[in-house]
């Protein structure tokens, strides 16, 4: 009887390990050059480098998701345990608002994210507040509220692997994702 139970436990453990080994981990975005925001403050990734050029293969179609990501920027960063929009993010969010006004058919989802520290519940709530603060900023800049949805992923979708200050700073973000209407 004991041997039968041990065999069943061993088989269950092997099956669990096999399933875990097959699950996909979220992709890690390539490193973005950091631009210091203040001598004593955290470091945030810098703005996009401008339009992609080089003919039809490298051209970015205006109003496309790629246009938004490359020419405007789809992510802003937050301080530890904060959901206040940083002054460093104003230019990017202003550019997002202008771009969204230029393309009124586009609908977006603001995704709030947190670093790995803290409980799942705390980080989900913090991510929701971050997403809502970005939504409010865009609405105050003239983007209709009906075009902006929010969601919190908490610490479930990190963009930077690692348990260090640089990774944590990159994972404390709000991501503006285009959900429909892009060319």
pLDDT digits (tens, 9 = 90+) for 158-167: 999 999 999 9
- Name the band, by pLDDT with cuts 50, 70 and 90, for residue 72: very high
Question: What is the sign of the dihedral through the CA atoms of 48, 113, 93 and 35?
Answer: negative
Count Cα atoms within 13 angstroms, Cβ side, for 28. 8
Q: Look at domain 29-180 and name its CATH class.
A: alpha beta
pLDDT of residue 11: 61
Count, in order, helices (H) and strands (E) of the chain.
5, 6
Region 91-115: mean pLDDT is: 98
Region 106-116: mean pLDDT is: 98
Residue 44: count other Cβ atoms within 10 Å of its Cβ.
23
């Amino acid at each position: 009887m004991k041997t039968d139970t041990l065999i069943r436990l061993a088989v269950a453990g092997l099956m669990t390990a096999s399933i875990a080994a097959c699950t996909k981990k979220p992709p890690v975005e390539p490193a973005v050059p950091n631009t210091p925001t203040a001598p004593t403050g955290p470091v945030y990734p810098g703005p996009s480098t401008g339009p992609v050029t080089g003919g039809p293969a490298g051209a970015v179609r205006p109003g496309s998701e790629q246009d938004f990501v490359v020419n405007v920027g789809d992510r802003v960063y937050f301080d530890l345990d904060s959901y206040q929009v940083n002054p460093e993010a104003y230019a990017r969010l202003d550019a997002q608002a202008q771009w969204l006004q230029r393309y009124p058919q586009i609908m977006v989802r603001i995704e709030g994210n947190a670093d790995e520290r803290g409980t799942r519940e705390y980080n989900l709530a913090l991510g929701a507040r971050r997403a809502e603060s970005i939504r409010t900023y865009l609405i105050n800049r003239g983007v209709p509220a009906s075009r902006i949805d929010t969601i919190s992923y908490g610490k479930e979708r990190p963009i930077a692997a690692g348990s260090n200050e640089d990774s944590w700073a990159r994972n404390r973000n709000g991501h503006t994702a285009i959900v429909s209407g892009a060319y």
